[in-house]
Structure formats: C-alpha cells, structure tokens
Amino acid sequence: MFAGIRGGELATITYRRAWDNARKGALSPAEYASPLARRVYDLRHACVSTWLSGGVPPAQVADWAGHSVSALLKVYAKCIEGQDETAKRRIEAAFR
C-alpha cells in the first residue's frame, strides 16, 4: 500500500512502530497496557467478528473478508453462537 524510501514495500517494523505510536496517543495508559488493538490485525478480527455477531450471513462476511466460508467458520464460529432465536424468527417469517 505504501512505498518505502527506496520504492520497495515498507518494513513490517515501520507499520508496528506507527501503530504503537497511534495506540499510545489514542488510548489511556491502562488501555495501552492491555491487549486492546495491540496489532493492526486485531482491528480486522474485531470487524469480522462484529459483522458475524450482527447477523451478516457468513457467506457475505467471507466474501468481504477474502476468506472461504469454511476458513471463516473455523476461526470465527464462536461469533455466531447464541443467534438461535434470531434464526428461528427469520425461519418463521419466511414461512408466512
């Protein structure tokens, strides 16, 4: 996404340092010391988890996240637990 000084890709440490500085500036000392958004990837994981727990169909989430449905469910299946009542209401509505 970003080019380094010599035109190549930025080193991973460059991203990590920038992310660490952003966390330091945005979070309280207690939040910074916690695992909250410790890695940039954590934001992606939180986003995908939120989509699934919000009821977005797994096939759609997998497409948006660039996963296969099977890969998505291996990692994120726990995010769709507890949606039984919502699923039952949708089924009932479909049969009306």
Residues 6+ apart with CB under 8 A from 44: 65
73 Cβ contact list (under 8 Å, min separation 6)? 58
Look up the pTM and report it: 0.63
- What is the average per-residue pLDDT within 28-52? 90
CA atoms in the 13 A half-sphere facing the CB of 21: 6
User: pLDDT tens-digit profile of 52-85?
Assistant: 988 899 999 999 999 999 999 999 888 777 778 8
Q: Is residue 23's pLDDT more than 90?
A: yes
What mean pLDDT comes out for the span 13-41? 91
> What pLDDT shows up at residue 53?
85
Query: If you count them, how many residues does the chain have?
Result: 96
Q: What percent of the chain has pLDDT over 90?
A: 46
Q: Token pair 């916690």 is at which residue? A: 34
According to the model, what pLDDT value does residue 72 have? Answer: 93
Higher-confidence residue: 78 or 21? 21
Mean pLDDT of all residues belonging to the chain: 88
